[in-house]
Structure 1
Amino acid sequence: MPSTSAGLTMPRLLLLAAALQSCCLLTWTRIGGADALILTRLEVPLFVDPRSAKVALRCIYDLEGAALYSVKWYRNDFEFFRYMPGIAPPGQAFNVTGVKVDVERSDHEQVILLGQADGVNLAGTYLCEVSTESPKFISKYDSANMSVAVVPKRDPALEGVRASYEVGEVMEAECTSAPSYPPANLTFVLNDKEVSSLLTRDLTPQVTLPVDGGGQAIQLSTTRLGLTLRLERTHFPGGSMSLICRSTLPGISAARSRKTEVTSALAASNQRLAQEPPPQSKARALLVHREGEFLSLFLTLVVIFRNIFPSGETLSGDP
């Protein structure tokens, strides 16, 4: 078998050379290789509340040991903010129609947009471009759309609920949200408890909304939700039932929900039931019955014992 002067075989030398090559390649990649810059994520709200005073956009990246050259932000292909750590001041805003930047609070990872300034229109496609210093000058970018929500101007309409019900009747309720963008999410709340989606049905017609170049809808829409429920005595605690339809906008945590509430009473023919507590389960009723029988038997045994052994006597008959 061929060998070297150091006593290593040729296969061992080949394995050593491969290991050294992999180590050097990994080190070169980490320090300044082609993948030295990684864009981790781009945080751009899908929808923004038009009443928001400020909106934060974030560009998170990993330089992998390289030096940062610049971070540039664009809206619909027009640059509106640039951050360059090598100049003073590092942050600079550019005049772009519809965009106003809070430069003092913007930096290398985020840009703060003013939401309620005159002439502001936040809808559009936002792009973040990150570049490293020489000698590589690696640049990577990512983009996302942001639309301005249109909040509903009134509470949802709750229909089909009667003023009173008999036990065993079926309630058919329908709720319709006010026009909005994006379409509202609807939920039913019965006696302060959210109703399971298994009892509801979506009545909203399936339509495709046209959008403009910035992703903003140009047509508002409503949402409809139905509820079918057979009513029981437990649905009327104290003789009445409360049903709420709640409307919220998805993806907009700051937007307050809107709701409509109606109250139904137990019918007059069932008013006696309204004054009684809800019926116990069969197992609980049986347990209570057994406890009563046991107590009655125990008291009977006590009476018999006292008759056999009057006061002052013992079981042995001793005085």
Structure 2
Amino acid sequence: MTVLLVFGLFVVIATAHNITSLDVPRYGDPHREANLVCYYVNEKNDPPLHSVKWYRGTHEIFRFTPEQLPPTRIFNTTTGGGVTRGSCNLHSCAISVVLPRSYNTRLSFTCEVSTEGPRFAVVKQTKNLTVAVILREDPVIVGVPGIVQLGEDVLLNCTTGNAMPPANIVWYIDGKPERTEPWMVNNTQVSYPNEFGLRNSWRSLRLRVNTLRSLVSVRCEATQPTWPPYVRSANASLVVARSPHLSMFTASGSSTTVFEISIAVLASCLSSVHIFSKYSALSEV
């Protein structure tokens, strides 16, 4: 950053280091410390580094001043986001922060870098962190049969892992949201909290197969109501059989081989062709 200050015939140029990167996680687990890092560089002819300051909101929580002893200082704060330790040099400054135990709280952290006088030019950047335990894995879909019949009812279930705040689940069928009654809009079930206060979510889908296509695609989308929202999803496909009796070969516990299923499919197709040929004349009358 360059600022030109004109006093009569004199021009004073005040420059500051450039902040090249500010690493603040988007989400932070309140059971763990959050690690924040500010990276900066001095350009040619920049004055020496004067200080690096960290703020939580408007409260200063940490300061690094290389020319002082000790060079680092931690400031207590009653608003949460206190610093436990820091490690800084002329190019970066890293701190570890204790997060409040209130989920879905949004915190802002600012890194401010200033250079030596006489003008003490300053640059700063701010990023936000939301206190949440996000889903670490995609949800799991269970109950997907190998093959389904046209007109068959299928019951699927989608379950998430433990998180906080708990996720809301929406089903999509062939890319379109599940059709629900008004009272079913928020029909996601949520478990009791575990020893860490985390909950898992689940939601069932009862689907009647009524498509002429060979596949039905379903997607389970789990969204945590954080800011910004955190989304994970899982996909599955239902294979629609063309033979009305094919599903008996894929029933649970059946020892039928893939070869035997293939023979059954072929026989069904040949039978259909024969019947069609025999009665095609009647169908045209």
TM-score under structure 2 normalisation? 0.50
1:173 maps to 156
How far 1:61 sits from its partner (Å)? 2.3
What are the within-5 Å matches in structure 2 for residues 148-163 of structure 1? 148-150=131-133, 161=143
1:210-237 superposed Cα distances (whole Å, 9 cap, x missing partner): xxxxxxxxxx997979797979xx99xx
Partner of 1:90: 71
Q: How does 1:1-319 map to 2 (within 5 A)?
A: 33-34=13-14, 36-52=16-32, 54-65=33-44, 66=46, 67-97=48-78, 98-103=80-85, 105=87, 109-115=92-98, 123-150=106-133, 161=143, 166-167=148-149, 169=152, 171=154, 173=156, 175=158, 177=160, 181=164, 184=167, 199-202=174-177, 267-268=247-248, 274-277=256-259, 279=262
Q: Which runs of 5+ in 1 are unaligned?
A: 1-24, 26-31, 189-196, 207-219, 236-242, 252-256, 260-265, 283-319
Residue 39 of structure 1 contacts residue 140 of structure 1 at CA under 8 Å; is this kept in 2? yes
Gaps spanning 5+ residues in structure 2: where? Answer: 5-11, 179-183, 187-198, 227-231, 235-245, 267-285
1:77 CA displacement: 0.6
Mapped partners of 1:144, 1:104: distance in 2:
18
CA distance in 1, matches of 2:86, 2:161: 39
- Identical-residue share of aligned pairs (%): 28
CA distance in 2, matches of 1:186, 1:179: 14
Distance 1:106 1:173, change over 3 A: farther
Residue 37 (structure 1) shift = 3.1
CA contact (8 A) 2:50 2:115 kept: yes
Residue-pair matches, total = 207
> Would you say the 8 A contact 1:199–1:227 is kept in 2?
no
Deviation at 1:164, TM superposition (A): 8.3
Report the Cα distance in structure 2 between the residues aligned to 1:106 and 1:127, rounded to whole angstroms.
Answer: 15
Range 267-276 or range 139-148, more displaced: 267-276
Quote the offset at 1:33 in angstroms: 4.3
Residue-by-residue CA offset, 1:40-59 (whole Å, 9 max, x unaligned): 2322112112232x321122
C-alpha displacement of 1:62: 2.6
The structure-2 alpha-carbon separation of the partners of 1:83 and 1:200, relative to structure 1 and needing over 3 Å to count, comes to same
Given that 1:99 and 1:120 are in contact with CA atoms closer than 8 Å, whether structure 2 keeps it comes out as no
State which drifts further: 169-178 or 77-86. 169-178
- For residues 276 and 105 of structure 1, what CA distance do their matches in structure 2 show? 62
8 Å contact kept, 1:131–1:137: yes
Task: Please state whether the residue corresponding to 1:124 is helix, strand or coil.
Answer: strand
Give the structure with higher Rg (CA).
1
Separation in 2, partners of 1:40, 1:148: 25
In 2 relative to 1, CA 126–205 (structure 1 residues): closer, same or farther, beyond 3 Å? farther
- Give 2:115's aligned amino acid: T
Q: 3-state DSSP class of the match of 2:83?
A: coil
TM-score w.r.t. the length of structure 1 is: 0.46
Aligned-pair distance for 1:101? 2.1
> Within 2, Cα distance between the matches of 1:111 and 1:227?
51
C-alpha deviation, 1:60, in angstroms = 2.1
1:9-51 CA-to-partner distances (Å, cap 9, x unmatched) read xxxxxxxxxxxxxxxx9xxxxxx94555322232211211223
Q: CA distance change for structure 1 residues 185 and 87 in 2, over 3 Å: closer, same or farther?
A: farther
Residue identity matched to 1:59: C
Q: Given the superposition, is the C-alpha separation of residues 123 and 244 from structure 1 closer, same or farther in structure 2, using an over 3 Å criterion?
A: closer
Task: Return closer, same or farther for 1:198/1:244 CA change in 2, 3 Å cut-off.
Answer: closer
1:125: Cα distance to partner? 1.5
Which secondary structure does the structure 2 equivalent of 1:103 belong to? strand
Give SS of 1:102's match: strand
Structure 1, 270-279 or 62-71: larger mean CA deviation: 270-279
**Greater share of helix:** 1
AA partner of residue 86 (structure 1): E
| CA deviation string 1:119-176 (max 9, x = no partner) | 7778522111110112331101121221110457xx96968x4878645557463536
Higher alpha-carbon deviation: 169-178 or 125-134: 169-178
